[in-house]
């Protein structure tokens, strides 16, 4: 198993096994601990398979002499935060927005940063060395510390950390529906929003091991949209299973995706002199409407490949202060080392609170999305070079759309999916083009 766009991921106990998790932890300890880090913090989401992988990672890290601090059920950004403040390695057991049958492992370098391609390649090489029976297994392990060093009662270090984005302001008077996706932030996110002063109605906050992301959360914002309208709330926030991203909805139930959230926050930061180098970082999936809006506002846009770690690399290279993805991964690099759905929610709510106007108005005046259609085609086996194999088909589609359209076809980095994204002047043209390309892919790859 190799790293995808966000760690390793697969069907629990079939594609991703506990035996592999032990070896991955050992390999990661050898590579990431080479500069002296001797501690790892491990967290996980609410899937029924997560505890087994937590134990496996602990065994692997301990086998290489690494001290393990087990955090329990916590969001991915909390793991990154704890790794940053203790200069430790980090590991998160989660398949993010995937269904409960899947699970995954995300690794953080000492200090809470995501791994580069080079570091991932070194870990994969170390995995291969571990598979060689001639290698002598290391001996000696250190302690495992439980329970979690993080409280979820609204007074933890992590909650203090995310609330700093408010700069001492509060959210008094805002009525918020929070969809916790039956996931890792089911406890900590409501506590943080209430401590900020918001009136919070929480839904999908009763995880049972199998209901994570099940018709709820950031991949199913229709649920929180319905709840917002039913409760007469000002705004809805839908997190995903490990709470490293969000999708918002306005008081009318309209979806406000990551592009709009980033655009809103970019203009707000720029107005307060906090947008470093007057630049924002996004990916190739970002709607053309975002780029047009930023151009009109005089904000420079840096575009990366798909994956929040590529956004993070560009942010660090700038250095820039804001970036993210349409899917709702938003990174405030002055505050965090990774995307954080809760921190982003607080930042967005703060903008709405200070503006004294509905999110619907703010989003509408910030940018207008061109019609964009995304078709996800599930195939039997992942085809990593699908973009190259279908380059001629994509070129023909773009020629038919002309200058007012755009096509992006790629393999998912985490699932056996081919993603076909088309932008066009009308939704009908975008859908027709996307469906045609998806059908070609289906015939070729099954």
Please report, rounded to a whole number, the percentage of residues in the chain having pLDDT higher than 90.
76
Pair 175, 234: CB distance under 8 Å: yes
pTM here is 0.87
61-119 per-position pLDDT tens digit: 999 999 999 999 999 999 999 999 999 999 999 999 999 999 999 999 999 999 999 99
Using a 10 angstrom Cβ sphere, with 0-12 exposed, 13-18 middle and 19 or more buried, the burial of residue 19 is exposed
Residue 419 host element (H or E): strand 417-423
Report pLDDT for 148: 45
Contacts of 207 (CB under 8 A, 6+ apart): 46, 182, 183, 186
The answer regarding whether domain 256-366 maps to CATH 3.30.499.10 reads: no
* Tokens standing for residue 232: 């007469």
- Say if residue 237's pLDDT is above 70: yes
Instruction: Give the catalytic positions in this structure.
Output: 96
Please report, rounded to a whole number, the percentage of residues in the chain having pLDDT higher than 70.
94
Domain boundaries, the chain: 8-145, 164-253, 256-366, 372-445
Pair 105, 92: CB distance under 8 Å: yes
- Say if residue 272's pLDDT is above 60: yes
The SS3 assignment for 12 reads strand
* Tokens standing for residue 321: 């202060």
Write down the CATH superfamily of domain 8-145. Alpha-D-Glucose-1,6-Bisphosphate, subunit A, domain 3 (3.40.120.10)
Residue pointed to by tokens 């088909």:
393
Rounded mean pLDDT, 260-264: 98
The answer regarding whether domain 164-253 maps to CATH 3.40.120.10 reads: yes
Whether 372-445 and 256-366 are alike in CATH topology: the answer is no
Alpha carbons within 13 angstroms on the beta-carbon side of residue 68 total 27
Cα 170 to chain centroid, rounded:
26
148-202 per-position pLDDT tens digit: 444 434 446 899 999 999 999 999 999 999 999 999 999 999 999 999 999 999 9
Domain 372-445, what architecture? Answer: 2-Layer Sandwich (3.30)
107-151 per-position pLDDT tens digit: 999 999 999 999 999 999 999 888 665 455 554 555 555 444 444
């Amino acid at each position: 198993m190799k790293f995808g766009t966000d760690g390793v991921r697969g069907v629990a106990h079939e594609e991703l096994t506990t035996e592999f998790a032990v070896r991955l932890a050992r390999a990661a300890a050898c590579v990431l601990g080479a500069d002296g880090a001797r501690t790892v913090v491990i967290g996980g989401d609410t899937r029924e398979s997560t505890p087994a992988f937590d134990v496996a990672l602990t065994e692997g890290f301990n086998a290489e002499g690494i001290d393990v601090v087990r955090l329990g059920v916590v969001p991915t950004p909390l793991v990154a935060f704890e790794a940053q403040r203790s200069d430790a390695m980090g590991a998160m057991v989660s398949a993010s927005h995937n269904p409960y049958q899947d699970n995954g492992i995300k690794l953080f370098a000492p200090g809470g940063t995501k791994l580069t391609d080079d570091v991932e390649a070194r870990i994969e090489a170390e995995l291969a060395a571990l598979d060689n029976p001639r290698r002598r297994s290391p001996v000696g392990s250190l302690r495992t510390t439980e329970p979690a060093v993080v409280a979820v009662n609204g007074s933890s270090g992590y909650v203090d950390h995310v609330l700093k984005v408010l700069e001492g302001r509060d959210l008094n008077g805002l009525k918020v529906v929070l969809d916790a996706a039956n996931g890792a932030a089911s406890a900590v996110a409501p506590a943080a929003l209430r401590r900020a002063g918001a009136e919070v109605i929480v839904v999908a906050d009763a995880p049972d091991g199998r209901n994570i992301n099940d018709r709820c959360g950031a991949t199913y914002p229709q649920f929180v949209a319905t709840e917002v309208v039913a409760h007469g709330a000002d705004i809805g926030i839908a997190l995903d299973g490990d709470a490293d991203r969000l999708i918002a909805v306005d008081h009318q139930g309209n979806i406000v995706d990551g592009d709009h959230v980033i655009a809103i926050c970019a203009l707000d930061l720029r107005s307060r002199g906090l947008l470093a180098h007057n630049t924002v970082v996004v990916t190739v999936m970002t709607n053309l409407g975002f780029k047009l809006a930023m151009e009109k506002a005089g904000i420079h846009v840096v575009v990366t490949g798909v994956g929040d770690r590529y956004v993070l690399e560009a942010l660090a290279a700038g250095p820039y202060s804001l970036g993210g993805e349409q899917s709702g991964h938003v990174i405030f690099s002055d505050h965090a080392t990774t995307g954080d759905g809760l921190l982003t929610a607080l930042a967005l709510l703060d903008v709405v609170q200070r503006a004294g106007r509905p999110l619907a108005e703010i989003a509408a005046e910030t940018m207008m999305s061109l019609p964009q259609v995304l078709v996800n085609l599930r195939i039997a086996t992942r085809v990593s070079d699908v973009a190259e194999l279908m380059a001629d088909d994509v070129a023909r589609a773009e020629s038919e759309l002309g200058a007012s359209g755009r096509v992006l076809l790629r393999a998912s980095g985490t699932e056996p999916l081919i993603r076909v994204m088309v932008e066009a002047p009308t939704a009908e043209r975008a859908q027709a083009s996307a469906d045609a390309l998806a059908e070609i892919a289906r015939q070729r790859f099954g």
